[in-house]
Structure 1
Amino acid sequence: MRNSRSIRTSTFAITVALALSACSTFDQGGSGDSESRTLTISLQFTPKADFALETDDAYVLSQVGCLETLLTYDEEAGELQPMLATEWTQSTPSTWDFTLRDGVKFQDGTELTADAVAGALDHVLTAATPPRAFTPKVVSKVEAVNPTTVRITTPAPSALLPFRLASVNTGILAPAAYQGAKIDPIRHCTGPYTPASVAPGQSISLDRNDNYWNGRPALDHVDGRFIVEGATRATQVRTGESQVALGIPATSLPELESDADLSVTKSYIPRTSGLYFNVTKAPFDNPDTRKAIRDAIDLAAIAKSVYDGGAQPATGPFAPDEPWAPKNAEPAKQDFDAAKTLLTKAGVQPGQLNLTLLAYNERPEFADLATVIQADLAKIGVTVTIQTGEYASMEPALLAGDFDLALLSRNHLTDIADPIGFLTADYTCDGGFNLSHFCDPALDAKIASANEMTEPDDRNALYAEVASQLQDEAVTVFLVHEQTVAAHANTVKGFVDDPLGRYAATPTVTIG
């Protein structure tokens, strides 16, 4: 049966301009055309994979106003919006056609065509490790139907394919970007700012794209610095070394909020921090051991102390006000007696467990969070040693399941702007980010069935059932639902801290 559905919405463009340069200087910039307006931003993460789009490096290119996708997701409205594509149609249950925007050029002057888009998408689809949003499991073919139409075929009927085309990992670069051994983003994006130089591990510097399809961007330059330490990012925006800082730690808020020259923004986001186990590895292959760890931790105290009241005790993977959260879910309550009873039931004796807890530096709260967990678990006879470092150094062990305990902050709408991406990646048997190594074929089938559901309410009810199971079985100890916190100089106008971490400065962000 032929199923045709066309989605049209008003023109929308959210793009970002951050640029960080270790050797650049910046002018606070006035509104006069004679002054060069340069925005310097302290970014939270450092590119680790030479800007390969199948990795998290795509977020950096998107944040700095270089990389754009066919569609974008408006988190506030809860719907997709056009970007490089203006229309998307489900021409059959297993095919979607995307109509490209007229008049778009890559920054190297070449035209945005269906062949170029198909080539860019094929590059990530056939990568050794495709991005979680765009793998051969969910996409079987990408082709140019004509110069302005790209057709994407899925192995099975999919109502959610367009959401995958809003993932930054499906960003579009010019064909020339793929000619070498590594991705070359220099002058190969479509966004408002054009990369001019990159200092690996330190910074990226961008110039205004005067031929940008959505009008002349407000800034002349964007400079960015890759700053892992949260306290350093806070210091840089306070001293004026940068004008925007992302990922501000709670410990830095009092000083920043007292500075009359700065604005601090906070908002709850679809992000939950959790304590992860390898559930196939003793002692965490026993659900009672996992539940004992969960019951020993004081979530309310963590939200109040570690996050300075800027987080909510977690009720599961999803916050209570999200449409896919279980109704009337409550956070786990600390109960040392219940935890000790569960350990005894699992055959674990006091003092028997000596565990290592991994906590990565890019999340500045994790150092204090790990210390609180260490103290809580000591009260039920579990010894914890804390190991810190950069996330990139820990990821191989996490993916291999070679760890005891690990802290992870996970935004469940970044893979795709629907929980199916997160649930598939993190909690299905063959999930690409299944750090828990959890496997329940019945749960896999339930999650997969959401892909064909055209009604959001039906999908949300299913996601709530999955969330309840993960919480009940303590597959992960969900700790807190988080806020995003950023700071910017009051001279910066139009900055919005994107809850999905894709954008930092749009074409309209300026300094005045």
Structure 2
Amino acid sequence: MSRSSRRGSRKVAAVALAVSAGLFLASCADSGADGGSGDAPESGSALTIGPVNASTNEGDPVKGGTLTFSGYSAVTSLDPSKTQIAGSVAGSELGAIYDTLLRYDPTSQKFVPKLANSMSPSSDFKTWTLKLRDGVKFSDGTQVDSAAVSSSLARYVTNKGPQSSLYASKVASVDTPDASTVVFNLVDPWTGIESLLATGPGMIVAPSAQQGDQFTPIGAGAFTLEKFAPNEELILDAREDYFAGAPNVDKLRMISIVGSQATSESLKSGGADAAYMRSLPNVIDLIDSGYPGYVDIPSLSYLSLLNTAPGRPGADVRVRQALALATDPVALDNRLNEGKGLPGQVIFQDSSRWHNDEAPIGVDPAKAKQLLDEAKADGYDGKITYLTMQENSAQAMALALQSMANAVGFDFQIEYVNSVADVVKRLYVDRDFDMSTGSANLPEADPFERLYSNLKTGGRNNATSFSDAQMDTLLDELGVATSDDAKKEVLAKIQARATEVVPWQILGNTPWLGVWAKNVHGVQQSIDGIMFFDEAWKTN
């Protein structure tokens, strides 16, 4: 293989990994579509963000045993600079090996120290000072000091980790005045650095981990590697010398069971002790069956992506508007999900703390037809092709979208491919599509990063080639907003602009459930569905 071919292969792999979590293809994994019109007043779902079936008396921790966790997708790399870190992909698994500097506490809606002892900003939010805990060591026995943190972050940027471009654009320099202090000097005021240090960049890799081309997963987390069979299982051993004390369980077995129904059945039969679930019917069933867990509802988690590149139908804003106005997400939800989903056309539904009162585009087939007719009068032939998976729920969704689009005059065609990898390559590598299933999955903790990467002109994950000078300005304003009120004000403007220019077709939200068996206790939640098991235990 030529050197240029190797570079191309690495690019495809890196993009596929980055997309797999932050922009996961919702319809390729779930048994129903979660669409909606407006603010979803007709939604049949009673789900809200927060814990479910929480135990009031967990008792004293029990030592020993193996805890089996079924992730949403199989782990393919143990290097946090080579994969997007999220609950849906590698986040809980790699978090067990490396920990993170910070953890997002969804109850307090604040970032709290984990490997770090504290993290504090200057009054202008342009300088952040991180203090490390005393006595924290990597699994090779070396100290987690400021030099190791700085080196790991530099390695993440050099390796072009999924969040590296944002980090590099925001962080001007890093100082290490002493062994326990890391100072981040920022280009502009920014609060989002806390979010990054709770995800991939905050998983600190030991200096000894990289020896030439050989990488060994050496971190400061509560577990160490025993066995890694890619796409099969990951076996981790508890560390007796973990800084917070030896974990309660002896081992973690991390697997990925194909299909939400099979995962649910494994949890009920005892084959799995904890899992990350996304399929709405299974989520509701497990909650109704009394299983404890945590429900998260990321915003923009069910979309149709519209390619706005020149020469594509979506390059004409009238075509994008017509598709949105022709599509009734509540009707889709009733048809495909028995009305139990979370339909909506707004970026932030009322379950989100970032919700605002800006109106959605609405559903208006007559106006859709008018806009489409105008585009046709200017030469558009009405044809558009929708790319999706050859899978039952994806097919049902595609056919429902087709019927609504064709009803106003589109010639809506469907192209099926065999795998998620095929869709990912077409969207994020080849950029060869008109319209496709998609997701942005904005975390409640900090929606900025994924909005920025999806909408900013030239953004890393801007698969639709969307470009709008006014939106770019708003995204820059959001990046420097430092209070929740200031962020909400800008997010309302972003919603208003999105209603005008329709960067995507919003269909609703898809809830996630971090769930565990009734005899499992002590699981901790973090950002984006990541779970930590260093305090978890099992009773008989």
Q: Which residue number corresponds to residue 222 of structure 1?
A: 252
Say if 2:67 and 2:249, in contact at 8 Å, map to a contact too.
Answer: yes
- The number of equivalent residue pairs is 475
Comparing 248-257 with 165-174, greater Cα deviation is found at 248-257
Q: Which amino acid counterpart does residue 107 of structure 2 have in structure 1?
A: E
Q: Which has the higher contact order (CA 8 A, sep 6+)?
A: 2
Say if 1:324 and 1:461, in contact at 8 Å, map to a contact too.
Answer: no
1:344 equivalent to 2:373? Answer yes
Deviation of 1:202 (Å)? 1.3
Would the alpha carbon gap of residues 389 and 107 (structure 1) be closer, same or farther in structure 2, given more than 3 Å must change? farther
Q: Which residue number corresponds to residue 481 of structure 1?
A: 509
Once the two structures are superposed, the pairs formed by residues 116-155 of structure 1 within 5 Å of their partners are 116-128=148-160, 130-131=162-163, 134-155=166-187
Q: Which residue number corresponds to residue 42 of structure 1?
A: 70
**TM-score, with length taken from structure 1:** 0.82
Deviation of 1:111 (Å)? 1.2
- Tell me how far apart the structure 2 counterparts of residues 287 and 189 of structure 1 sit (CA, whole Å): 48
Deviation of 1:509 (Å)? 4.0
Q: Which residue number corresponds to residue 395 of structure 1?
A: 424
Would the alpha carbon gap of residues 75 and 498 (structure 1) be closer, same or farther in structure 2, given more than 3 Å must change? same
Q: Which amino acid counterpart does residue 110 of structure 1 have in structure 2?
A: T
1:297 equivalent to 2:327? Answer yes
Q: Which residue number corresponds to residue 383 of structure 1?
A: 412
Say if 1:86 and 1:100, in contact at 8 Å, map to a contact too.
Answer: yes
Contiguous gaps of at least 5 residues in structure 2: 1-58
- Tell me how far apart the structure 2 counterparts of residues 90 and 254 of structure 1 sit (CA, whole Å): 41
- Tell me how far apart the structure 2 counterparts of residues 508 and 440 of structure 1 sit (CA, whole Å): 47
Q: Which amino acid counterpart does residue 414 of structure 2 have in structure 1?
A: T
Deviation of 1:290 (Å)? 0.9
Q: Which amino acid counterpart does residue 167 of structure 1 have in structure 2?
A: T
Q: Which residue number corresponds to residue 204 of structure 1?
A: 234
1:311 equivalent to 2:341? Answer yes
Output one character per residue of 1:117-165: Cα deviation in whole Å (capped at 9) or x when no partner.
1111111122235525743211232342211111222233434433332
Deviation of 1:308 (Å)? 4.6
Say if 1:352 and 1:382, in contact at 8 Å, map to a contact too.
Answer: yes
- Tell me how far apart the structure 1 counterparts of residues 495 and 414 of structure 2 sit (CA, whole Å): 30
Deviation of 1:379 (Å)? 2.8
Would the alpha carbon gap of residues 72 and 305 (structure 1) be closer, same or farther in structure 2, given more than 3 Å must change? farther
Instruction: Give the root-mean-square deviation of aligned CA atoms.
Output: 3.2
Say if 2:388 and 2:437, in contact at 8 Å, map to a contact too.
Answer: yes
Deviation of 1:465 (Å)? 0.4
Q: Which residue number corresponds to residue 90 of structure 1?
A: 121
- Tell me how far apart the structure 2 counterparts of residues 258 and 451 of structure 1 sit (CA, whole Å): 40
Would the alpha carbon gap of residues 505 and 159 (structure 1) be closer, same or farther in structure 2, given more than 3 Å must change? closer
Q: Which amino acid counterpart does residue 312 of structure 1 have in structure 2?
A: L
Q: Match of 1:140, SS?
A: strand
1:105 equivalent to 2:147? Answer no
Match of 1:72 among 103, 107, 125: 103
Once the two structures are superposed, the pairs formed by residues 24-35 of structure 1 within 5 Å of their partners are none
Would the alpha carbon gap of residues 199 and 317 (structure 1) be closer, same or farther in structure 2, given more than 3 Å must change? same
Match of 2:222 among 192, 215, 220: 192
Q: When you count helix as a share of all residues, which structure comes out higher?
A: 2
- Tell me how far apart the structure 1 counterparts of residues 477 and 437 of structure 2 sit (CA, whole Å): 30
- Tell me how far apart the structure 2 counterparts of residues 182 and 33 of structure 1 sit (CA, whole Å): 38
Deviation of 1:115 (Å)? 0.8
Q: Match of 2:129, SS?
A: strand
- Tell me how far apart the structure 2 counterparts of residues 87 and 431 of structure 1 sit (CA, whole Å): 31
Identity, in percent, stands at 23
1:276 equivalent to 2:308? Answer no
**TM-score, with length taken from structure 2:** 0.78
- Tell me how far apart the structure 2 counterparts of residues 503 and 449 of structure 1 sit (CA, whole Å): 32
Q: Which amino acid counterpart does residue 225 of structure 1 have in structure 2?
A: I
Q: Match of 1:433, SS?
A: coil
- Tell me how far apart the structure 2 counterparts of residues 258 and 151 of structure 1 sit (CA, whole Å): 47
Contiguous gaps of at least 5 residues in structure 1: 1-30
Match of 2:483 among 455, 460, 464: 455
Say if 1:263 and 1:487, in contact at 8 Å, map to a contact too.
Answer: yes
Match of 1:446 among 474, 478, 481: 474
Deviation of 1:425 (Å)? 0.7
